Amino acid sequence: MPTSDLSSEPTRASLADVTPAIALGPLDGRYRSTVAPLVDHLSEAALNRERLHVEVEWLVALTDGTADGPVVPGAPRLSDAEKAYLRDVVTTFSGDGIAEMAEIERETVHDVKAVEYFLKRRLAAAPAALGDATVLPGVGELVHFACTSEDVNNLSYALMVRGAVQQVWLPAATALVEQIAEMAREHASVPMLSRTHGQPATPTTVGKELAVLAHRLRRQVRRVESAEYLGKLNGATGTYGAHVVAVPGTDWPTVSKAFVEGLGLTWNPLTTQIESHDWQSELYADIARFNRILHNLATDVWTYISLGFFKQIPVPGATGSSTMPHKVNPIRFENAEANLEISCALLDTLSATLVTSRLQRDLTDSTTQRNIGPAFGHSLLAIDNVRRGLKALAVNGDLLADDLDGNWEVLGEAVQSAMRAASVAGVEGMENPYERLKELTRGHRITGEDMRTFVAGLGLPDDVAARLAAMTPGSYVGLAERLVAEYL
């Protein structure tokens, strides 16, 4: 077979040279609109903004001092206007600031040092509105005072992840759970044939099965809601070495604790150079578990659609298949499955990798943590797809009823259980109930008349016989409706 001579093919224009830049990944390309809220929290720019936030608040803390006096002797106190100016550097950090910081980093070849120099520039350029007496140009050496880069980074990541969880992921996850719960309540009384091991089994209701999934997901949401976000500020090896040498008279652990808790984080008193990241591992494991339960929902709903239990409401103008015009494909659930798998793979890697650091420090966590955004992004995208997919479903009541009516053998469980109870109560002739129902039903399709005839010949007490004679597969759903009402 002849092979293509690539050297003879025309040179293609480089897509890498197109302006604005083309996204390499789908989250920043095809799916940007769905995951855009995470950019404010988990992007590189968001990381630098939080670094600025931490540096500014550390500078304010050092100049404010404590009840026992200044943290660093001789440090001036900042006026309210000066503090507001510094905090405004954080709140207004956007396009121009991002570009300037990137330019500085090209010189420093160090991201945290670039943040330090960026802030020092703002101190030196304190506006005239602050007056000639402003102390800001003279406090530059308090920026990043006694800090290692990880003092800034660990606090920044904790603030970033907390914001992403509390402001973006949790609202989306909670809305999804409530949507599923509402569907469960709506369909709590709609009977449906179960399929344990894929085979016809004891009936349930559509609502009860959805309630199980809503309940499982809600437990994981509660775990995520209760997550701790830890932080530390204690120097290059967690000993406050530089702090004590520079200013031996200050109670540095107390200052550190107050500062970290002032950021709304939980203080970690014992670390190496890095905060140990255990809290991140715990959080990502919980979110991955939520993802996996949601994946279970997606595969179950996909299966119910394939069985015809759910009908999909066509979207006007949409194409299901490029060649088969009749099809309405369950693409939202398939898309969700794929994105949940990608998210879990990233979250599992984050969770496993971040708990280990060689001796007092290595840099595996640095590049690893830069993938927190994609991990959350694929989960958020999946949540959005499931929500949209569920909105386009309708229960196929007629098919559910036909399916139940075609499987009267599932009442074998009910009849043999009633026979056992009657035997315990002293009724004669109830021997071998399981075996007798097995002989009647296993591998056979029976009718309602077959089942009623069998029950009539058992010699059960009249009230029990009447109860069983009135039962149908559609009415044999136990306490399903009550369970949804009471426990969801």
- The confidence score (pLDDT) of residue 479 equals 97
- The confidence score (pLDDT) of residue 421 equals 96
At which residue do the structure tokens 């075609």 appear? 406
Q: Is the pLDDT of residue 450 over 80?
A: yes
- Torsion sign, CA atoms 270, 271, 277, 282: negative
Each residue of 130-162: pLDDT tens digit?
888 899 999 999 999 999 999 999 999 999 999
Q: Which two tokens stand for residue 314?
A: 């066509």
Between 9 and 448, whose confidence is greater? 448
* Mean pLDDT, residues 373-399 taken together: 97
Provide CATH 1.10.275.10 ranges for the chain.
Answer: 38-142
At a CB cut-off of 8 Å and minimum separation 6, what does 333 contact?
Answer: 298, 299, 301, 302, 305, 385, 386, 389
At a CB cut-off of 8 Å and minimum separation 6, what does 115 contact?
Answer: 48, 51, 52, 55, 101, 152
Band (pLDDT 50/70/90 cuts) for residue 274 is: very high
Q: Is the pLDDT of residue 43 over 60?
A: yes
CA distance 477 to 206: 11
Q: Is the pLDDT of residue 485 over 70?
A: yes
Provide CATH 1.20.200.10 ranges for the chain.
Answer: 149-315+327-395
Lowest-pLDDT range of 218-232, 289-303, 401-415, 436-450: 436-450
- The confidence score (pLDDT) of residue 443 equals 84
Contact (CB, 8 A) for 144 and 54: no
Each residue of 174-218: pLDDT tens digit?
999 999 999 999 999 999 999 999 999 999 999 999 999 999 999
CATH fold group of domain 38-142: Fumarase C; Chain B, domain 1 (1.10.275)
Q: Which two tokens stand for residue 296?
A: 């279970």
Q: Report the CATH architecture of 149-315+327-395.
A: Up-down Bundle (1.20)
Each residue of 300-357: pLDDT tens digit?
999 999 999 999 987 665 555 545 445 578 899 999 999 999 999 999 999 999 999 9
Mean pLDDT score across all residues of the chain: 93
Give the residue numbers marked as catalytic. 197, 321
- The confidence score (pLDDT) of residue 325 equals 46
pTM for this predicted structure: 0.93
Lowest-pLDDT range of 8-12, 193-197, 221-225, 277-281: 8-12
Highest mean pLDDT among 22-26, 125-129, 250-254, 359-363: 250-254
- The confidence score (pLDDT) of residue 66 equals 79
Q: Is the pLDDT of residue 80 over 70?
A: yes
At 408, which amino acid appears?
W
Band (pLDDT 50/70/90 cuts) for residue 128 is: confident
CATH class of 407-475: mainly alpha
> 89-112 burial, b for 16+ CB within 10 Å, e for fewer?
bbeebeeebeeebeebbeeeeebb
Rg of the chain in Å (alpha carbons): 32
